[in-house]
């Protein structure tokens, strides 16, 4: 099959590689010329994706995968078009911003030829494929869905850094516009993916048809919104436990020993392209979902709440040197999408602190590019806030930050032993965590 992949980012490029590795002739389209150039040189344009570089070195020289900036080169004659263009959300209105998606849809619709399967993998609000993109394609191309082209919503369900593993692990959901569109979508994905055996699933792992685009759209929103709501509940417990002198981590461990409790871990922030975004996409079509709205609002408030707690313990932060450990939104990745570093830095600055940021994945110049002063371990500071649970931070000690007066651990990764002599506030641990611990005589 000739397959075109629209947008070669951290999900789109591994998908293109997966399709090519399965035997498809793949051409990817991206608006970034440098991205296209690197891919055609068989060079991964971003670090951290397992097995991506070695697969590029195999597939690109063999002519099984190439990239272009030209839709007219990639789209005509394609058996399948897979769209993985980012969909953004307005931070103020919480409404979806379709600009990039609309532009990509218009661009490929100008060149689509009859018989093509069109699969949207970008997470969408319920009703978007049927109500927005199919009419747009029909109007621009003059073709009719389920007659001349075949539309399906099939959400990506992978995490960056382990895309190829996740493609094997999780069922591939599809929701198409007609029986023929469903047949073609199933045929395409079964030709492109292989699946791990999983005895824990109610039916065999593989391509799962949900019966409609709307059901498939909701499934992706539901699985990610569940996590945000669950983390919101965990953060609610953590904030209470902090005040009540309770270790919430012991409480969660005990609660989850019963098979009907699955409480997630609290944290200073919920970041990434998915969990902070998709609940707002859900709310765009179900504005009365108060549980979802409350959880999203609570999770977004935790950085300010922890900085506020630090202010209570230290007094006025004006002129104090504060260090935020971690720019990435989660451990082990170089990615700041909706990272908690942004609200944490903003809140510290609003309270008068002089802020520096450290992250092992970022150079000093890259940190400065975000508008932050870089911090180097060994430099003096008054306040430390752990924002990302990078493993490197587990071994830090109070001696690594001369003059430190307080550490706020938003990820429960530090130890009291390493921070002897320094007041230590762990989000969710209220059992004397801010009491100064001194070495035994």
Cα atoms found within 13 Å of the Cα of residue 288, Cβ hemisphere only: 0
| CA atoms of 249 and 263, how far apart (whole Å) | 10
Positive/negative CA dihedral, 234, 240, 241, 243 = positive
CA-nearest of 6, 9, 11 to 39 is: 9
Residue 416: phi, psi to the nearest 5? Answer: -60, -35
Which two three-digit tokens encode residue 339? 């990272």
Catalytic residue among 55, 274, 394, 405: 274
Provide the 3-class DSSP secondary structure of residue 373.
strand
Token pair for residue 252?
A: 């969660």
- Residues with Cβ < 8 Å from 216, sequence gap 6 or more? 152, 153, 154, 155, 173, 174, 175, 210
Nearest CA to 400 among 381, 423, 424? 381
Q: Answer yes or no: are the C-beta atoms of 321 and 358 closer than 8 Å.
A: no
Reference 210, options 166, 255, 258, 152; nearest CA is 152
Q: Which of 10, 172, 220, 321 is catalytic?
A: 220
Q: Which residues contact 314 (CB under 8 A, 6 or more apart)?
A: 320, 382, 383, 405, 406
Active site residue 169: no
Q: Is 172 a catalytic residue?
A: no
Positions marked active-site: 220, 274
């Amino acid at each position: 099959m000739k397959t075109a992949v629209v947008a070669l980012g951290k999900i789109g490029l591994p998908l293109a590689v997966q399709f090519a590795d399965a035997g498809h002739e793949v051409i990817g389209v991206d608006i970034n010329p440098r991205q296209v150039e690197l891919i055609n040189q068989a060079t991964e344009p971003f670090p951290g994706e397992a097995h991506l570089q070695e697969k590029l070195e195999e597939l690109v020289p063999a002519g099984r995968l190439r990239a272009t900036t030209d839709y007219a080169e990639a789209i005509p004659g394609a058996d399948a078009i897979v769209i993985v263009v980012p969909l953004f959300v307005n931070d103020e209105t919480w409404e979806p911003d379709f600009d990039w998606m609309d532009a990509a849809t218009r661009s490929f619709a100008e060149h689509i030829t009859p018989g093509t399967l069109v699969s949207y993998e970008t997470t969408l609000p319920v009703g978007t494929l049927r109500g927005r993109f199919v009419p747009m394609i029909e109007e621009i191309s003059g073709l009719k869905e389920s007659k001349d082209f075949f539309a399906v919503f099939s959400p990506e369900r992978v995490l960056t850094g382990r895309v190829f593993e996740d493609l094997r692990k999780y069922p591939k959901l599809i929701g198409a516009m007609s029986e023929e569109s469903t047949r073609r979508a199933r045929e395409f994905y079964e030709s492109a993916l292989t699946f791990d055996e999983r005895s824990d699933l109610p039916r065999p792992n593989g391509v799962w048809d949900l019966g409609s685009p709307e059901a498939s759209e909701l499934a992706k929103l539901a699985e990610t919104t569940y996590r945000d709501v669950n983390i919101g509940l965990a953060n609610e417990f953590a904030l209470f436990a902090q005040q009540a002198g309770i270790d919430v981590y012991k409480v969660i461990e005990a609660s989850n020993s019963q098979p009907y409790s699955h409480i997630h871990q609290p944290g200073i922030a919920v970041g990434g392209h998915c969990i902070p975004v998709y609940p707002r996409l859900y709310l765009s079509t179900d504005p009365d979902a108060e549980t979802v709205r409350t959880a999203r609002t609570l999770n977004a408030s935790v950085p300010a709440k922890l900085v506020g707690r630090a202010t209570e313990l230290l007094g006025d932060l004006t002129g104090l040197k504060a260090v935020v450990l971690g720019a990435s939104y989660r451990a082990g990745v170089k990615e700041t999408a909706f990272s908690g570093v942004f609200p944490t830095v903003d809140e510290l600055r609003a309270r008068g602190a002089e802020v520096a940021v450290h992250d092992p994945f970022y150079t000093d110049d890259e940190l400065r590019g975000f508008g932050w002063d870089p911090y180097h371990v060994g430099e003096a500071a008054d306040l430390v806030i752990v924002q990302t649970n990078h493993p490197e931070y587990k071994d830090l000690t109070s001696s690594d930050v001369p003059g430190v007066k307080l550490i706020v651990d938003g990820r429960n990764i530090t130890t009291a032993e390493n921070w002897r002599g320094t007041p230590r506030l762990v989000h969710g641990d209220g059992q004397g965590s801010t009491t100064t611990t001194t070495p035994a005589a």
